[in-house]
Amino acid sequence: MKVADFDFLLPPDLIAERPLQDRDRSRLLVLHRDGMIEHKQFPDFSTYLNKGDMVLVNNTKVFPARLTGLKKSGGKIEILLVRQKEDHVWEVLSKGSYTGIVMISENLRADLFKGKIAYFHYTGDFYDLLWEYGSMPLPPYIKRLPEESDKERYQTIFASRQGSIAAPTAGLHFTNDAKERIIAKGILLRALTLHVGIGTFKPVGSTFVEDHSMDPEYFELDKTLIREINEVKSSGNKIISVGTTTTRAIEGYMSGMCQVTAHNGTLQGTTDIFIYPGYTFKVIDSLLTNFHLPRSTPLMLASAISNREALLHGYRHALAKRYRFLSYGDAMLIL
């Protein structure tokens, strides 16, 4: 299967630079397995759910992982925190291969090594300092600087477990009212955690899909969730996944494509599962997702839920109807 099979032309003006003022005012393209397409609004999402179904969300919280500081020369340098290696030590991304001190504030500095490893020195709580001096790690396809409002808006209402450098963007459409509508209908709303890493932006550089590999990402879920999922499936109801990260976490665990340990009823581990057409889903029946980049791994995952031809058919309709694409854009429900 060629990566080029997942290509399409995405006009830059359809990439949403900013969120809508109201989260649930997004449009919703509903793609049925038989190819039928409906054009709805996000509040219509709950009308496609039945009592006894389960909606599964990712409760990860994005932290302000972009830091700007000064080198000894006085020049500015920006670093993106990628993953913590040990206490005070992070793998980072930055332009160039600078080695030296980066002064971020009076009580936060980093010793940067070849632009890739940062040894932090600080007083107080590290994450408190990030929230004070850092900015949100908006995806590279958003061509503006992060704003203070992004600290709230580039975050789902479910966000409670800090650790992501990218939002699980399908969840950005939910409001508390939308959540309550789902619960009132007798639908289970459950959460797991997958901390999204830099791999979410990693381009597929190979010619063939099968030659690409995903970066491992940390996940957590309660053992009781597995029991509840099995009960929902055995009763003939459906599991609706909110986003590709939620899907990768639960499918990574249920397919055994993970490294995992159990701690007091919580399953913790990492998964590098790569889902593309041909994959047999163990849990997920339907997917709520945003519109993705051409040739990207989230696009391939969405294609695995429907099939490539049906998904690209839906994308052609979305492009013609000028849906808003990517993180701050509109939503698609694959039934």
Tokens of 73: 């020369």
Across the chain, mean pLDDT equals: 96
Q: Which segments of the chain belong to CATH 2.40.10.240? A: 66-134
Q: What does the alpha-carbon distance between residue 212 and residue 208 come to, in Å, rounded to a whole number?
A: 7
How many Cα atoms occupy the beta-carbon half-sphere of 312 within 13 Å? 14
In this structure, the number of other CB atoms found within 10 A of the CB of residue 64 comes to 21
Query: Which tens digit of pLDDT belongs to each residue from 95-153?
Result: 999 999 999 999 999 999 999 999 999 999 999 999 999 999 999 999 999 999 999 99
- pLDDT score of 202 more than 90: no
Q: Which segments of the chain belong to CATH 3.40.1780.10? A: 3-62+151-334
Distances (CA, A) of 325 to 225, 280, 321: 32, 27, 12
Bridge partners of 39, per DSSP, are 29
**280-288: average pLDDT:** 98
Q: What does the alpha-carbon distance between residue 233 and residue 133 come to, in Å, rounded to a whole number?
A: 46
Give exposure, 13-36, as e/b (b: 16+ Cβ within 10 Å).
ebbbbebbeebbebbbbbbeeeee
Lowest mean pLDDT among 6-10, 14-18, 262-266, 299-303: 262-266
Q: Yes or no: is domain 66-134 CATH 2.40.10.240?
A: yes
CATH of the domain spanning 3-62+151-334? 3.40.1780.10
Look-up of token digits 């070849």 = 114
Query: Which tens digit of pLDDT belongs to each residue from 153-173?
Result: 999 999 999 999 999 999 999
Q: What does the alpha-carbon distance between residue 196 and residue 83 come to, in Å, rounded to a whole number?
A: 10
